[in-house]
Amino acid sequence: MAEHVTFFRMKVKPGKIDEMMRMMNEDEPSLAAKGWQRTIAGRSKDDPNTVWIAVTWDTSERYFKNAESPEQNASYERMRAFLEADPEWFDCDLINEERA
């Protein structure tokens, strides 16, 4: 089971969700070696430009090391160009994970 999960909510510019998700998916293979495990994204039923994402990492230490890296900052800046405002972040210690 993962140790760390970060949730974030983003208000995406109209018509930019698919392009933003493609850009984010391109980064995931390189993140796996750094401790990234899984990303789940969903679109709000009330506002189709609001996206919620949950990302799990094997440890909080590796998550924060990646989050503070220049490479991750560059990825964030590319993602930020698709957004109307800065995302809201919620970092958590994972206490339960269930799968079918």
Mean pLDDT by 10 residues, the chain (100 residues): 90 97 86 91 97 96 95 94 97 89
Q: In the prediction, which pLDDT does 54 show? A: 96
Q: In the prediction, which pLDDT does 97 show? A: 82
The answer to whether the CB of 43 falls within 8 A of the CB of 51 is yes
Q: In the prediction, which pLDDT does 86 show? A: 97
Q: In the prediction, which pLDDT does 37 show? A: 92
The domain ranges of the chain are 4-93
Using alpha carbons, select from 98, 100, 19, 11 the residue that is nearest to residue 56.
98
4-93 folds as Alpha-Beta Plaits (3.30.70)
